[in-house]
Amino acid sequence: MNLAFDYGDTRIEFELTYRKRKTMSIMVEPPGVVTVVAPAGTPENLVLERVKTKAQWIVSKLQEVREVTQVDTAKEFVSGESFKYMGRNYSLNLIVDTTIRKPDVDLDGNNLIVISPSRDEGVVQKAVEAWYRAMAKEQINTRIMHYQTKTGVAPNSIMIKDQKKRWGSCSTSGNVYFNWRVIMAPADVVDYVVVHELCHLVHHNHSADFWKLVSTVMPDYQVRKEWLIKNGAKMSL
């Protein structure tokens, strides 16, 4: 369940989950996801009022996430820069070829080769992002085919999107969406995001039943989830 409120000029959105517990907790995780876990039965309006009292803290934490992202991932798209793909670092090798009309991107050993008609940062960045999107679609489709037999569900459609605050999401109609940046993570973390969203096709919440299904399919999911929490802010261009 998603709720939101305005704090000054900032719109704070958060996902509300109910569990059998006595206290409420608020978590702010990369790439900017706010999650609230409340005791089962707590009225939504009461949760909203309590979260509002923590608005300043939430905004501060969201800013910290943005600052870490900006410091760790700012790119100039020049030869020698490091780019992550499936958990490995690749060195950008930019080759300018004025005879071609559009850039071409590929991996060669430990290098990310970009052949471009221009050194223009915007041109190179657009080409690299398009490559990431294509690789994300290819890899995620393959992993979904693998895990849909284990979860017993299959999505109606799979889409790669530019999601700023989520690694994945799904709709009640059975469509699943993935943040293209997740392909920068190690393969086992990509698998966790895939399993997470497939399990949401069964349970459209973060209930105990949802996490039980996730753990059945992927017993060590917590390790993979923790990696994403700690390193997610660095996965950007």
pLDDT, tens digit, 9 for 90 and up, residues 33-55: 899 999 999 999 999 999 999 99
Same domain, 62 and 162: no
Q: Where a domain ends, among 72, 103, 130?
A: 72
- Report the sign of the C-alpha dihedral through residues 149, 150, 151, 152, in that order: positive
Average pLDDT of the residues in 182-201: 96
pLDDT score for 84? 94
Domain ends where: 37, 72, 107?
72
pLDDT of residue 72: 52
pLDDT band at 67 (very low <50, low <70, confident <90, very high): low
The model carries a pTM of 0.75
Reported as half-sphere exposure (CB side, CA atoms, 13 A), residue 87 has a value of: 9
- Mean pLDDT (the chain) is 90
Per-residue pLDDT reduced to its tens digit, 76-92: 999 999 999 999 999 99
Please indicate, yes or no, if residue 6 is contained in any of the structural domains: yes
Does the residue 150 lie in any domain? Answer: yes
How many distinct structural domains can be found in the chain? 2
> Is there a single domain that holds both residue 61 and residue 137?
no
What's at 226, amino acid-wise? E
Q: Please indicate, yes or no, if residue 187 is contained in any of the structural domains.
A: yes
On whether both 229 and 161 belong to a single domain, the answer is: yes
- For residue 170, pLDDT over 70 is answered with yes
Q: For 103-161, what is each residue's pLDDT tens digit?
A: 999 999 999 999 999 999 999 999 999 999 999 999 999 999 999 999 999 999 999 99
Answer whether residue 192 is part of any domain: yes
Average pLDDT over residues 47-67: 87
Amino acid 116: pLDDT: 96
Q: 128 and 229: one domain?
A: yes
CATH at 169: 3.30.2010.10
CA pair distance 17, 36, nearest whole angstrom: 6
pLDDT attached to residue 62: 84
Identify the domain boundary among 13, 41, 72.
72
Task: State the residue range of the domain holding 130.
Answer: 121-234
pLDDT band with cut points at 50, 70 and 90 for residue 229: confident
Q: Let me know whether 65 and 129 are in one domain.
A: no
In a domain, 77, yes or no: no
Long-range Cβ pairs for the range 13-17 (8 Å, 24+) = 13/165, 14/51, 14/58, 15/206, 16/44, 16/47, 17/205, 17/206, 17/207
Predicted pLDDT at 68: 56
107 located within any domain: no
Asked whether residue 19 is domain-assigned, the answer is yes
What is the pLDDT at residue 115?
Answer: 97
**pLDDT surpassing 80 at residue 69:** no
Clarify whether residues 40 and 135 are in a common domain: no
Q: Over 80: is that where the pLDDT of 175 sits?
A: yes
Neighbouring residues of 133: CB distance < 8 A, sequence distance ≥ 6: 160, 180
